[in-house]
Structure 1
Amino acid sequence: MIIEVKKENEDIIFKISELEKEIFPESFYSVDMLKEMAEKNEYTILVCDEEVKGYLLLHDSFDLYEIMKIATKKEFRKNGIGNQLIDYYLSKYDKSLFLEVRESNKVAQHFYENIGFVVVGNRKNYYPNGEAAVLMSLERN
């Protein structure tokens, strides 16, 4: 079950922040930042059930949505949770999707390509360690 998280879902927001710290130790998404995002219309936060098996953070950039973050708990990976989150977005929203992914993260790039994303460019030295970002887009009509 996919849930659209709102500011009232403080327990879910806390679970997202804990998972964020676990998966992305250098992340800057704090509980307070996630709460603020949940209050604003330009952000959409989706989770796979109240246990938060996975989550998707999206930012409405006027003509498209940017995937800010997508993650799945380690024990639930390879169970289609990422696909469920993206499919839910695609069933509810019409805007194209855009994202940046580490050049070295071939698993994620393959995941996105299987959904229909295409590479549209790159950004050199995008990440703090100097790694480039691959830019990917999923165009919607």
Structure 2
Amino acid sequence: MIIEINKHDEEILKKINLLEQEIFIESYYTFETLKDMVNKKEYKILVFDEDVKGYLILHDSYDLYEIMKIAVKKEFRNKKIGEQLINFYLNNWEQNLFLEVRESNEIARYFYEKIGFVSVGKRKNYYPNGETAILMSLERN
């Protein structure tokens, strides 16, 4: 079950924060950052069930939504949870999607391409370690 969380879901935000710190070791997202996001109308945070097997953070950039983060617990990967989160968005909102992904992250790039994202550019030296970001977009027709 996919849930769009709101500011009253602090326990779910805590679970997202734990998963964020586990998966993205150098993440700058803190519990306070997540609380701030959920209180702003331009952010949407979706979770796959209340146990937070996965989550998707989106930012409304007026004419498109940017995927800020998507994560799935290791033991639940390859079960289409990430795909279900993105499809939930696609079934409920109209704007195009945009994201940045590490050039070296071939698994993520394949995942996005399988859903329909296409590469639209690069940002050299985007990440703190100097790695290039691949820009990807999914156009809604």
> What is the identity, as a one-letter code, of the residue corresponding to 1:58?
L
- 2:56 corresponds to which residue? 56
Aligned partner letter, 1:115: I
Q: Distance in 1 between matches of 2:122 and 2:14?
A: 33
Matching residue of 1:134: 134
Amino acid at match of 1:62: Y
* Distance in 2 of aligned mates of 1:64 and 1:74: 29
Q: Which residue of 2 aligns with 1:72?
A: 72
Taking structure 2 as the reference length, what is the TM-score of the superposition? 0.99
CA–CA separation in structure 1 for the residues paired with 2:33 and 2:69: 13
1:102-122 per-residue CA deviation (whole Å, 9 max, x = no partner) reads: 000000000000000000000
The letter of the residue matching 1:15 is K
Question: What is the aligned partner in structure 2 of residue 38 from structure 1?
Answer: 38
Separation (CA, whole Å) in 2 of partners of 1:36 and 1:52: 19
Per-residue CA shift, 1:38-76, capped at 9, x if unaligned? 111100000000000000000000000000000000000
Give the Cα separation in 1 of the matches to 2:108 and 2:33. 25
What is the distance in 1 between the residues matched to 2:126 and 2:40?
26
Tell me the distance in 2 between the aligned counterparts of 1:78 and 1:35: 29
SS class of match (2:12): helix
Are 2:18 and 1:4 equivalent residues in the alignment?
no
Which runs of 5 or more residues in structure 2 are unaligned? none
SS at match of 2:56: strand
User: What letter corresponds to residue 81 of structure 2 in structure 1?
Assistant: I
Cα distance between partner residues in 1 of 2:65 and 2:31:
22
Tell me the residue number matched to 1:112. Answer: 112
Match for 1:120: what amino acid?
V
- The one-letter code of the counterpart of 1:130 is G
**Aligned residues, how many?**
141
Say if 2:43 is the partner of 1:47: no
Using the TM superposition, give the Cα deviation of residue 25 of structure 1 relative to its aligned residue in structure 2, in angstroms.
1.1
Identity %: 67
CA RMSD of aligned residues (A): 0.4
Unaligned runs of 5+ in 1: none
Following TM superposition, the consecutive aligned residue runs of length 4 or more in structure 1 with deviations greater than 2 angstroms are none
Determine if the alignment matches structure 1 residue 97 to structure 2 residue 112. Answer: no
